[in-house]
Amino acid sequence: MSLRSGPPLPRRKPPAPEPSSPLVRRRPETFKSEALRAGILSLLFLLVLIGIWHVATLQKEQPAGANDEYAKLMGKGAVKTTGFPTPAQMGETALKQLSDPFYDKGPNDKGIGVQLGFSLARVGLGFALAALVAIPLGFVIGMSPLIYRALDPFIQVLKPISPLAWMPLALYTIKDSSISGIFVIFICSVWPMLLNTAFGVAGVRREWLNVAKTLEVNAVRKAFLVILPAAAPTIMTGMRISMGIAWLVIVAAEMLVGGTGIGYFVWNEWNNLSLTNVIFAILMIGVVGMLLDLVFGRLQKFVTYVE
Amino acid sequence: MAFLDIQGLSRRYAGRDGKLFAVFEDVSFHIDKGEFVCIVGHSGCGKTTILNVLAGLDQASAGVVVMDNREVAGPSLDRGVVFQGHALMPWLSVMKNIAFSVKSRWPEWNRTEVSLHCQKYIDLVGLTGAEQKKPSELSGGMKQRVGIARAFAIQPKMLLLDEPFGALDALTRGVIQDELLKICAAMHQTVFMITHDVDEAILLADKILLMSNGPGAAIAEIVVNTMPRSRTRNDIHHDPQYYRIRNHLVDFLVNRSKRFQSGTGGERPKQPPVVRPGLEIDASPLQSRVQSASDKVTPLVVNRKH
């Protein structure tokens, strides 16, 4: 909403289309100040969190004593750390990783951007395949109560299976770890989209279909111009849920499959005992997941209509 | 043959106990070209079902509907429908809602042709300036205007209106009634309309079908509106005929509609009687007002002010 200048009306009016309505005019202002305050509060929380982290990982001075020699033998100095990285170390790692995210120095040393790219490509491919299957099938299920009833037992049994449980079967039949990863993404993102599409299509208002009927609209036109836009908000909700699940699953899948991807990166850095990199990767997973959700949130807003 | 002919129309549903029960039974009437016909009756007597059968959205259990010498079977662009709840697509703007029907009617038209045609009907219903608004930004009256424009825009041979003004406030309703009347007169539109509002029926209709209560409802009477077609909302109540017709309709709805119920009557006439209460000078017993449909040529017709 943009700020419009205009004479403020004396009385509050319901949200009318008039741009000079006081509600429309005032809302961004209050919203803005609240957003500002919330932002400041968020920043404060972050600082407190980092502060606690910093204190918890403070280096402890150790009195010189009998252990000195032992410590030296172990290749450590007199200073003992808790092992958990400090915020400063984290910052250093993050800066290093982010300054060169796309380097590729062999199978076990790739930049964070490259690894995230692999994961995103797998998620994107698996998700797209799932959408290609789930949305048309959901249309059919939503239109036909008979097919819904016939397929319901299958869906109910298949839906609660952890997508990773499919992994051995996928590896055995597909014989390619990368494609198996994509398959796992496919299988986990297909259900929310399928069910939401079916639900949305089944719930299209009778009167809109009647309008199409009286206008002798053919089936294809009806599907694309009436049912799809009518069910789009529900379908998009399903897609958003699917994407969330897919991003959760990809990390686990790549830990299993190995090779490339952010999940593999996390596991590899754990094997390297590089906790700073593990923590950094965890943060990146969170940030990318948030961005994905943001994109689908925007798409959802785009197709939502007010009745 | 009349423009629209309905013969022995019935609609039966299977009840919960498996027995068939008829919403309406053996309904016959006809509508001439350019005629405005209202159907009045209590809720549940099957008015909407009749309209749905005419629209092709529902199938009759028995009987035929013939329009323009062709049997009505299934929906057709020849019949435009204005739905009770406006039924606009909320994700489309006013212009696009109307364009949806225009493109259905003339798929070969290009974009400019479609938008010019839509604009004409948007102007007609007085919505100029609201073309790009979504239905949620419109008032109830404006939404119903869009519904009317959408139905008119396909230039149907017949317009079917299912209680189009039911959800509107009295003021808006009056304004849109006047506009509808004007448009219909200008286009010689044949209209079949459902209403609960007796005054609305008298203002708009040339012929008012009175429906008895369901189940097993039927057309009990056909009331001819004998007032001149130039009547308007403002002067209609100055015409002495208005009260006679109104009293007749209200009397039917309050007292007589129940008596026609199936089972009690038994010997229902094949064609409902045609009455002209507006031309009756005194409030004489019902019998004298009722004329059978067969003797259409009565001296009363001569008296019609046209």
Kindly state the percentage of chain B with pLDDT values over 90.
39
Q: Give the pLDDT score at A84.
A: 86
pTM: 0.81
Q: How confident is the model at residue B291 (pLDDT cuts 50, 70, 90)?
A: very low
In this prediction, residue A3 has a pLDDT band, given cuts at 50, 70 and 90, of very low
Residue of B nearest to A204 (CA): B89
Task: Please judge whether B87 and A230 are an interchain contact, meaning their C-beta atoms are less than 8 angstroms apart.
Answer: no
Residue B190 has pLDDT above 90, yes or no: yes
Closest-CA distance, B57 to chain A, in angstroms, reads 7
> B79: burial class by Cβ within 10 Å (0-12, 13-18, 19+)?
buried
Q: Which residues from chain B sit within 8 angstroms of residue A230, using beta carbons? A: 89, 91
Percent of chain B with pLDDT over 70: 88
Report the DSSP pairing between strands B207-211 and B62-67. Answer: unpaired
Residue B142 and residue B122: Cα distance in Å, rounded? 11
Q: Which CA distances in Å does A273 have to A97, A263, A276, B16?
A: 17, 15, 9, 71
The helix (H) or strand (E) run that includes residue B59 is none
Kindly report the length of chain A: 307
Residue A60, pLDDT score:
65
What average pLDDT does the segment B220-243 reach?
87
> For A80-111, b where at least 16 C-beta lie within 10 A, e where not — what string?
eeeeebbbeebeebbeebeeeeeeeeeeeebb
Check residues B281 and B144 and name the one with the higher pLDDT.
B144
pLDDT at A291 over 90: yes
Sign of CA dihedral B262, B268, B271, B273: negative
What does the mean pLDDT of chain A come to? 86
Tell me the backbone φ, ψ of residue B216, rounded to 5 degrees.
75, 35
Best mean pLDDT range from A12-16, A241-245, B208-212: A241-245
pLDDT, greater one: A202 or B262:
A202
- B250-288 in b/e form (b: 16+ CB < 10 A) is eebbeeebeebbbeeeeeeeeebbbbbbbbbeeeeeeee
Considering only the beta carbons, identify the residue of A214, A225, A306 that sits closest to B90: A306
Contacts of B292 (CB under 8 A, 6+ apart): B269, B271, B273, B274
Task: Count A/B contacts: CB-CB distance under 8 Å.
Answer: 62
CA B290/CA B284 separation, integer angstroms: 11
What mean pLDDT is reported for chain B? 84
- Using a CB–CB cutoff of 8 Å, tell me whether A227 touches chain B: no
pLDDT band at B46 (very low <50, low <70, confident <90, very high): confident
Task: Write down the pLDDT at residue A10.
Answer: 46
In angstroms, what CA-CA distances link A106 with A110, A176, A207?
A: 7, 20, 61
Within 8 A of B81 by CB-CB distance, chain A residues are: 210-211, 214
From CA A230, how far away is CA B91, in angstroms rounded?
Answer: 8
Chain A residues in contact with B55 (beta carbon < 8 A): 210, 214
pLDDT surpassing 50 at residue B179: yes
Q: How confident is the model at residue B168 (pLDDT cuts 50, 70, 90)?
A: confident
Confidence grade of residue B254 (pLDDT, cut at 50, 70, 90): confident
Q: Is the pLDDT of residue A237 over 90?
A: yes
**Measured between beta carbons, which residues in chain A are less than 8 angstroms from residue B152?**
none
Closest-CA residue to A26 (of A298, B134, A34)? A34
Q: State whether B77 and A215 contact (CB < 8 Å).
A: yes
pLDDT the model gives residue B293: 41
Identify the bridge partners of residue B211 per DSSP, sorted by sequence position. Answer: B219
Q: What share of chain B is helix, strand, coil (3-state, %, to 5)?
A: 35, 20, 40
Residue whose C-alpha is closest to residue A307's, from A237, A169, A203: A203
Higher per-residue pLDDT: A152 or A108: A152
In this predicted structure, the answer to whether residue B5 has a pLDDT above a threshold of 50 is yes
Segment among A204-213, B17-26, B73-82 with least mean pLDDT: B17-26
B258 Cα to chain A: minimum distance (Å): 31
The alpha carbon of residue B76 is apart from the nearest alpha carbon of chain A, in Å, by 6
Give the closest-approach CA distance of B75 to chain A in angstroms. Answer: 5
- For residue A8, the model assigns a pLDDT of 46
Report CA dihedral (B56, B59, B63, B69) to the nearest 10 degrees. Answer: 20
Asked if A46 and A57 touch (Cβ cutoff 8 Å), the reply is no
Cα distances from A14 to residues A23, A28, A301, B23, B275, in angstroms, run: 8, 16, 22, 43, 49
Task: Say if CB A246 and CB A186 are below 8 A apart.
Answer: no
Which residue would you say has higher pLDDT here, A278 or A62?
A278
**B133 with A17: Cβ contact below 8 A:** yes
pLDDT > 70: percent of chain A: 83
For residue A82, is pLDDT > 70? Answer: no
User: What integer is the mean pLDDT of A60-77?
Assistant: 59
How far apart are the CA of A37 and the nearest CA of chain B, in angstroms? 33
The reply to whether B133 touches chain A by the CB within 8 Å rule is yes
pLDDT at B265 (0 to 100): 46
- Of B222, B238, B233, nearest to B292 by C-alpha is B222
What is the pLDDT at residue B303? Answer: 39
Tokens representing B305? 């002010």
pLDDT band at residue A186 using 50, 70 and 90 as cut-offs: very high
In this prediction, residue B261 has a pLDDT band, given cuts at 50, 70 and 90, of low
**Binding-face residues of B in 5-34 toward A, CB within 8 A:** none
